[in-house]
Amino acid sequence: LPEINLGLGREVGTYQGITREWLYWYDESGQKLLTPEERIQRSERLRLETEQRVLTEQQLRLAAEQKAQILAQKLRELNIDPDTLT
């Protein structure tokens, strides 16, 4: 349907819990337009991935802070004030 920049195609998929061959809309570049259910799933997946990245970054930051504290303590044991180092 070039007049509306859309096309139709068939693909096996699951929609509203039913898995079978469905007709799907495709844009002019051949990308399948997502169903509302697929958009929700994609959004949820992206949210979970973002949460995981945030947790990983927090863990890395905490590990770096702990390492810095350990190194600062070792310097103090050598009578070196880590706060005066530049």
Instruction: Dump pLDDT digits (tens) for 53-78.
Output: 999 999 999 999 999 999 999 999 99
Terminal-to-terminal C-alpha distance of the chain: 67
pTM for the predicted model, two decimal places: 0.63
Helix and strand totals (H; E) in the chain: 1, 2
Residues 6+ apart with CB under 8 A from 10: 21, 22, 23, 24
Q: Which amino acid is at 32?
A: K
- Note whether 23 and 33 are within 8 A (CB): no
